[in-house]
Structures are given as structure tokens and as C-alpha cells.
Amino acid sequence: MIGEAWAIAQAVREGRVSAVETAQTAINRIRTLDGRINAVTRLLEKRALAEAALVDQKVAAGFDPGPLAGVPYGVKDLFDVAGLPTTAGAGIRRDAPPASVDAQAIMRLNAAGAVLVATLNMDEFAYGFATVNATWGTTRNPHDPGRLAGGSSGGSAAGVAAGMLPFTLGSDTNGSIRIPASLCGVWGLKPTHGALPMEGVFPFVDSFDDIGPFTRSARDLALITGILAAKPLQMDASPGLCVARLGGWFANNLEPAMETAFADFCGQLGALPTIELPQVDRARSAAFLMTAAEGGRRHLPMLRHNPAGFDPATRDRLIAGAALPSAAYLDAQDFRIYYKAQLDRIFETVHIAVAPVTVGVAPRIDNPVIRIDGRPVPARANLGLFTQPLNFAGLPVISAPLATADGLPLGVQLIGPPGSDATLFAFAADLEQRGLLRAHICENPACP
């Protein structure tokens, strides 16, 4: 069984278990489980065992290997890993020149004693909410392999939910951490825009891209985020927080299971005021437009050179984005300035807002749709209904798993103003301790 990161590190530092044994356990679980889940694109066994042996040598010599001593982890397949091509989920990049050094985030984790075990599946170039990949296949939800894991960081979420790894890294442009975290029942963070290091991460949309961890607990989420940020997070809960529920846009289109679970969650928090964000529909549309335009321009040279090398579902969206007029992109940027200013005013009196992550549970792989305004729409493009308007403003958001007793996982967004990440962590940890939030992990090796 793979436990929480902080507990693994403590056991390794105290000599109760070796880092090599811990890495081998993770490797064995991946070999046992991943054939049914398809979260892993590359198993880095040689590197992992070598890194783990170095941790054990430090322990034996009386040195502290770091706060993540011997903790195995994986990264979404768009982080640079020295000696390997950074594919960003694209078959067209399988033969790209290998990275010369690790991404900055990997360097910081390894300096803290963590052990890199695997790279993880994703939507091609992070353009999707499903982790349906034309080259590496579809990542399945560990709680029901007939359902999507979500995306674009689906492999990262599924790897934690299946108990293969205690934590992983993903990226979030329009919801790509929060959506799979919610659908797989684990914790995920979209930090304040720009708060965590992006060096060595294959870019998609500079205006929105961020990285963040997936974990089994709020404690681990804060621990790993502090290491990535190169400064420990202060998690002292602030008294007198004003918490509000997002209504309007965020209360529409909910499936019955989500509507009930979210209402129960809010009820446990007391008589929450309901607030509405202004012009959310325009914010989502503008986020779509900026995503398409920046992504299309980034990939335009390769689209011209080798269009057949792309997944057709990705290629067509990128071509459409590249064809957008500059004036439309500039209009979206202007609206973003206005929208952020309106949200700044709201967060002068509201410290934390809560909202669902998705409209409901993970869609089925054989029928990958959700219903918006009574119509079925493709899940791959539309699962970000409640996440895109928040990325558009650069807000920090924790995706927290609701402690539902049965059924498939559901997640809630804990949202704050820019720079309030530590406040969100303290709030999340308190709700986890109260039993309102809880990760859903498959510990049985026969799972799913």
C-alpha cells in the first residue's frame, strides 16, 4: 500500500523503511494495476532505484535527505526529464531531442528527497479535459474503468487515485488539474497564476498555464506546494473568514448527485451567502478564445509542416485558433482586465468562495458527453464549464474531494483571491479534519 507522502518521508528518515523498498513497491503497483488504468507512459525504474539508493545512503550516513525523503512520485508527460524527449502527450514529439536537464519543479522535489518513478498520460498538448490520447490511449478512472479520468492531467490524477503513487504533478490551463482530481476523488491545486516554477514545462497557453500537485490529503498538498514554491506554507487558519457559495452559472446544469452533495457540503459550513460572479459566460468564452489563439499560434509552424502528425481532434482546434483575428484576441484581453477588477472587488469582502468542480460524476468512455442547458455536448471540450472562468482571472483554487459515502467521486472548488493560497490550505485542512472532505483511493491491488 502507498500511503501519504509525509508519512512515507517520516518512515524513511527514521530508518523504519528504505527508500529503495518504497520505490520498488510503487514500481510493483504500477506493473500490477496500470494495465487496466493506463495512467503511465514511461516507467523510470532505473532512475527511481538509483535516486532511492542515494536517499538511503544519506540516511545511513546520518544526513537528513529532506522533507520528501524516499517519496515516489510521477509527473505529467510535459515536464522535462533529463535524457528523455518531452512529448507533451503528442506522438509527433516521440523523437524530439531529449531534455538536457530536469524541469525546475523536478529539481526542487528531488532536492527534497523525492524519487521520480514515472511519466504520466495526458491529452495531446494538454488540449482537452478527458485524457483521450491518440498515441498513448485513454486513461481510465480507477473507480470505474468504463469512465473517463478527466484531463488533461488524467494520468496524474488516476495514478494517485489507484494507490500507485502518493503524489504526482500536473498542469492546469483551464481546469486540467481540478477536473481529473474531482472525477478521480483526489486533491489537486491550481495555484495563483505564476506562483510555481514553469521552467522546463512544455507550454500551452502562457496566459493561463500553471503547475500543481495531486495528493491523498490536504496536508500533503500543502507540503508539496511549499517545496515547489521554495518556501514553506503557513497554514494557520485565519479567524472570521467570510465564505460564500457561488450561484448563478455555478448552480446551473448540475446532475442530481452533485446538486445534493454540494448542497449538503454547503449546509455543513453554515448559512453561507450566495454570490454571483459577473459575466461568467463572457469570461468562459474569452478564455476559450485566448486558449485557441495562443495554442494555435504556438503550434502553427508544425501544423504547416506536418499536420497529419497531430491527433485530428487536437489539430482541428489548433488550426481554428491560429485563424482567429488578432482583434478578437485583443478584445478578450481587454475584457480580462475588466473581469479581474470585478473579482478583486468581490474578494475584498469574501475571503473564500466554494463551487462545484464539474456538473457531475465522470462521463462514460463509450458516451463521453455531459449535458449543458439540456443538450448533450462533448466532455472533452466542455468539462471545464466551472473551471475556465476562474483560470481567466488567475485565481488560486483547490479541488477537494467531497466525503461522499457511496457513488463515484465528486469534487468542490475552494477559491480565493490571488495570493491567498495559504489561507485556502488552512481552510481545506480544517474541513478535512472535520470529515467533510476525503480522498477516495483504491487500495486493493485488484482495483478497479
| Residue from 18, 152, 217, 399 carrying the catalytic annotation | 152
| Residue from 18, 58, 76, 399 carrying the catalytic annotation | 76
Active site residue 399: no
> What amino acid is encoded at 307 in this protein?
P
Contact 111, 67 (CB under 8 A): no
The per-residue b/e assignment along 346-371, b for 16 or more CB within 10 angstroms, e otherwise, is ebeebbbbbbbbbbbbbbebeebebe
Residue whose C-alpha cell is 448552480 = 251
Q: For residue 268, which of 399, 404, 360 has the smallest C-alpha distance?
A: 404
Active site residue 190: no
> Is the backbone of residue 231 left (phi > 0), alpha (psi -120 to 50) or beta?
beta
Find out whether the peptide bond into 152 is cis, omega within 30 degrees of 0. yes
Contact 163, 373 (CB under 8 A): no
Please tell me the distance from the alpha carbon of residue 186 to that of residue 155, in angstroms, as a whole number.
Answer: 12
Strand-strand pairing, 352-356 and 411-415: antiparallel
SS3 track for 199-267: CCECCCCCCCCEEEEEECCHHHHHHHHHHHCCCCCCCCCCCCCCEEEECHHHHCCCCHHHHHHHHHHHH
Active site residue 152: yes
- Grid coordinates representing 51 are 535516486
| Residue from 18, 156, 171, 176 carrying the catalytic annotation | 176
Catalytic residues: 76, 152, 176
